[in-house]
């Protein structure tokens, strides 16, 4: 890659580039069809149609009905709506117990902690050394006062894909609601909410080349939760606020553009990158599973050195990666996900997450691995921890 080098973006697990076709879909709703979709004059027809079109595409991708989709401002709001909404509703019925896992996204974990302060009790299931929960442990954890099991579909840091079909079946049998945070897996792992017995599911637009600031909750018909944002009657009285029409139209387009062949492409690139790193860099260990792993996730622990150092060195080469989770990357706390796999502090601190997208090219991976080799070698030379 001679001359002015292109930036290489390997942080698609945090946020993605908006597809040009998504942006084209959004533009008319800013300056042309800007009417209030909830009004009754005919100028509101196009924005209203845009919302319903997106809702149909999104629900179709999940095998849900359009009226089971509540459009929101993103993944975090959606997770909060699911958990807090279910909690408020359950409390009135005397149920106060939630089951989740230790490797959830902070939108789930911190919401559970907030609910604990409000009188709820939470069981945090442990995971094995690849990040999988144990179904028997889940079953044993379900109590008479359990109203909700919230277990993420695919982990954002290590890519572990849980068997949500089995979890759904178990929960349905026990008459406990099952929510899954599918923000990372949506369009990257097939989801059928009916077949998988899912009651609530969170998704977000900015992980799939749609705009930031848009998300959705699948809420199975008949599942009753309280609202998080009350006010006007938008979203069938389930989420108040003037609809973000361009954002919603863009989200729909992004879902429409996501194809199964992208998954195939990403799996090949993922496995290629893992092999290249393992073959060329000593003491590099894959975190998370090799099978049942998100198609775009690569997380590698490099012994004897710090992830921050690797990240900064790659940044100087124009390569964007992340350590730990995207949302707390400013924090120096070790990743709660990696810690829960039983890794040592130093293994956690030396870990880097590379997340690819359907736009990632093999040349970018080759370039990254080549630079990585030199950077790891250099940093290890400087590190007092390196065995000599």
Q: Which stretch binds its own copies (CB under 8 A): 165-173, 262-270, 325-333, 368-376?
A: 325-333
Distance CA 131, CA 134 (A): 10
Stretch that binds its own copies, among 130-138, 184-192, 293-301, 307-315 (CB under 8 A): 307-315
Nearer to its own copies, 168 or 211 (CB): 211
Residues making up the chain, counted from first to last: 388
Q: Which is nearer to its own copies, 32 or 278 (CB)?
A: 32
- Distance, in Å, from the CA atom of 154 to the CA atom of 134, rounded to the nearest integer, reads 15
In angstroms, the CA 247 to CA 223 distance is: 26
Q: Which residues, 188 to 207, sit near its own copies by CB under 8 A?
A: 204, 206
Q: How many residues bind its own copies (CB under 8 A)?
A: 81
Q: Return the residue of 6, 39, 264, 342 that touches its own copies, per CB under 8 A.
A: 39
CA–CA distance, 337 with 322 (Å, rounded to integer): 14
Name which of 197 and 202 has its Cβ closer to its own copies: 202
Give yes or no for residue 291 binding its own copies (CB under 8 A). no
Closest CB 193 distance from its own copies, rounded Å: 23
Q: In Å, how far from its chain's centre is CA 384? A: 36
**Three-state SS string across 121-176, please?**
EEEEECCCCCCCCCHHHHHHHCCCCEEEEECCCECCCCCEECCHHHHHHHHHHHCC
Encoded tokens for 326: 């995207």
Residue 226: count other Cβ atoms within 10 Å of its Cβ: 16
Which residues from 42-81 bind its own copies, rule CB under 8 A? 42-44, 72-77, 79-80
Rank residues 40 and 279 by Cβ distance to its own copies and give the closer one.
40
Range 162-181, binding its own copies (CB under 8 A): none
- The set of catalytic residues is 327
The first and second tokens of residue 35, run together, are 């009417």
CB nearer its own copies, residue 7 or residue 382: 7
| Site for its own copies, residues 222 to 241, rule: CB under 8 A | 226-234, 240-241
């Amino acid at each position: 890659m001679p001359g002015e080098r292109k930036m290489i973006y390997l942080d698609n697990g945090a946020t993605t580039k908006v597809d040009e076709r998504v942006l084209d879909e959004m533009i008319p709703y800013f300056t042309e069809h800007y009417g209030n979709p909830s009004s009754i004059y005919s100028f509101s027809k196009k924005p209203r149609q845009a919302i319903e079109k997106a809702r149909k595409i999104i629900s179709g991708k999940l095998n849900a009905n359009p009226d089971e989709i509540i459009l929101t401002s993103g993944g975090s709001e959606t997770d909060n709506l699911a958990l807090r909404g279910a909690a408020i509703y359950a409390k009135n019925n005397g149920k106060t117990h939630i089951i989740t896992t230790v490797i959830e996204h902070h939108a789930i974990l911190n919401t559970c902690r907030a609910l604990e302060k409000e009188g709820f009790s939470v069981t945090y299931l442990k995971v094995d050394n690849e990040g999988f929960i144990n179904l028997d442990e889940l079953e044993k954890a379900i109590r008479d006062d359990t109203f909700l099991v919230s277990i993420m579909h695919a982990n954002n840091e290590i890519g572990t894909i849980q068997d949500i079909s089995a979890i759904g079946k178990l929960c349905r049998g026990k008459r406990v609601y099952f929510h899954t945070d599918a923000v990372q897996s949506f369009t990257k792992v097939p989801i059928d909410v009916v077949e998988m017995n899912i009651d609530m599911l969170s998704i977000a637009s900015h992980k799939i080349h749609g705009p930031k600031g848009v998300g959705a909750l699948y809420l199975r018909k008949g599942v009753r939760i309280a609202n998080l944002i009350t006010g006007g009657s938008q979203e069938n009285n389930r989420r108040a606020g003037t609809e973000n029409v361009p954002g919603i139209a863009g989200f729909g387009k992004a879902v429409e553009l996501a194809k199964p062949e992208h998954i195939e492409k990403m799996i090949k690139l993922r496995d290629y990158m893992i092999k290249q790193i393992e073959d060329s860099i000593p003491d590099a260990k894959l975190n998370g599973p090799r099978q049942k792993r998100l198609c775009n996730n690569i997380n590698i622990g490099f012994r004897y050195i710090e992830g921050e150092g690797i990240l900064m060195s790659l940044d100087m080469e124009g390569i964007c990666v992340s350590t730990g989770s995207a949302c707390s990357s400013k924090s120096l706390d070790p990743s709660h996900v990696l810690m829960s796999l039983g890794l040592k502090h130093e293994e956690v601190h030396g870990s880097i997450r590379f997340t690819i997208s359907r736009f990632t090219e093999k040349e970018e991976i080759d370039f990254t691995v080549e630079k990585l080799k030199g950077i790891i070698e250099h940093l290890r030379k400087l590190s007092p921890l390196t065995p000599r």
